[in-house]
Amino acid sequence: MNLTPKVQESVLTAIGSVSIVVNADTPNPRESDPATTLHGLFARWQADALPCHKPTSAKRARAAIKSLDRLLGTVPLVAVSPNTGWEYRRQRHAEGLAPATIHYELRLLRQMCRYGGDVSGVPITSPVVRGTLPKVPNRAERWLTAEELRRIAAVAPGYVASVITFAVETGLRINEICRLSWDQVDLQRGELKLSEQKNGKFSVLPLSSLALETVRLQRQKASGEGQQPIFLKGFQAWTEAGLRAAFYRAVGKAKIAPARFHDLRHTFATRLVQAGVDLYTVQRLGRWASYDMVQRYGHHNTESLRQALAKVG
């Protein structure tokens, strides 16, 4: 049957209308395309940015992205809005997540959206605006007393106790201790060389007598040299996760208040401050970028403040 062009146009229009009605619940192909949704953005960010992260940081980001993708993966990039962030916060709160976890995930979402806008040249509306991020209670700063350190040393295996002692005496971060090698220590001069630091600077630091003794004991146990690690668990270098777990076990056995390995760095600074060491020297020894950071890490107790008053009383 031959149809005039006008009739053909009418038929095609009718067919298109029926198709739209029948498939009203079917997502728009352009909107469901992974390349144009948050799922696609998450995948690209992981491929481009995660290789630059430290293993522990990358692991945390992957876990957060898994949750973000589960709830937001199908959202088209053009539909991202502040309401996206608010709705995600509401759903995660309903799932019982802690404010700190939700706070981290939303910040990561904002970061990835900024990244997507930068690489594509087409800005993506920020899903996080003022008030979207949940308030996170400030964590009480923690440092360990001499008695707590003594109790840990009494229950921890020797190879764990030596690491804890060295951390308290030097203020080194856990990643610095795990990769500390023999070519970074001068036993004759009692010095420690740190070239890959958080602030990107190179430092030569003196070792206390106890820190130096700890390193010499490690030398007696293992004849390492060059870039071989100083602190070992058996015959293997410590991993950050393994060292944290060993520290937590020791804290639990010692029956003291919960503490993180990083609190040993707070302990290092606090002992110096309470001994009357000036802040400039504390800053240099701990390699902090500013006095504000020193004040965050070093803490006075009532007795040390009383001794300060006695000097002018």
Give domain status of residue 268, yes or no: yes
Q: Return the top range by mean pLDDT from 9-23, 149-163, 220-234.
A: 149-163
Same domain? 154 vs 288: yes
Measure the CA angle with vertex 291, ends 286 and 297; round to 5°.
Answer: 55
Work out the average pLDDT over 288-304: 69
Give domain status of residue 6, yes or no: no
Same domain? 85 vs 32: yes
| Beta carbons within 10 angstroms of residue 237's beta carbon | 17
Same domain? 80 vs 181: no
- pLDDT tier for residue 27 given thresholds of 50, 70 and 90: very low
Same domain? 308 vs 227: yes
CA distance 155 to 255: 10
36-86 pLDDT, tens digit per residue, is: 899 999 999 999 998 888 888 899 999 999 999 999 999 999 999 999 999
User: Looking at residue 35, what DSSP letter applies?
Assistant: G
Same domain? 72 vs 181: no
Least confident of 133-137, 188-192, 231-235, 309-313: 309-313
CATH (domain of 85): 1.10.150
Token readout for 295 is 């004040």
Print the domain residue range for 31.
26-120
| 305 vs 231 pLDDT, higher one | 231
Token readout for 108 is 């990561």
In 101-127, which positions are buried (b, 16+ CB within 10 angstroms) versus exposed (e)?
bbbbbbebbbebbebbbeeeeeebebb
CATH (domain of 200): 1.10.443.10
**pTM metric for this prediction:** 0.59
Residue type at 277?
V
State the total domains in the chain.
2
- Domain edge (last residue) among 120, 136, 165: 120
CA distance 113 to 133: 15
Q: Determine the 3-state secondary structure of 303 from DSSP.
A: helix
- Domain edge (last residue) among 120, 136, 168: 120
Same domain? 225 vs 308: yes
What was the pLDDT predicted at 23?
39
Give domain status of residue 228, yes or no: yes
Same domain? 259 vs 157: yes
User: Looking at residue 160, what DSSP letter applies?
Assistant: H
Please say whether the dihedral angle defined by the alpha carbons of residues 278, 210, 160 and 232, taken in this order, is positive or negative.
Answer: positive
Give domain status of residue 134, yes or no: no
User: Looking at residue 77, what DSSP letter applies?
Assistant: G
Do 222 and 174 meet the contact criterion of CB atoms below 8 Å apart? Answer: no
Same domain? 116 vs 238: no
Give domain status of residue 18, yes or no: no
- pLDDT tier for residue 16 given thresholds of 50, 70 and 90: very low
Same domain? 162 vs 98: no
Same domain? 66 vs 100: yes
Give domain status of residue 43, yes or no: yes
What was the pLDDT predicted at 86?
95
Give domain status of residue 1, yes or no: no
Main-chain dihedrals φ then ψ at residue 60, nearest 5 degrees = -65, -40
Residue 13 neighbours by CB under 8 Å, 6+ apart: none
What was the pLDDT predicted at 236?
87
Same domain? 187 vs 285: yes
Same domain? 231 vs 308: yes
Give domain status of residue 135, yes or no: no
Residue 170: name the closest of 262, 266, 286 by CA: 286
Residue 303: name the closest of 283, 278, 274, 267 by CA: 274
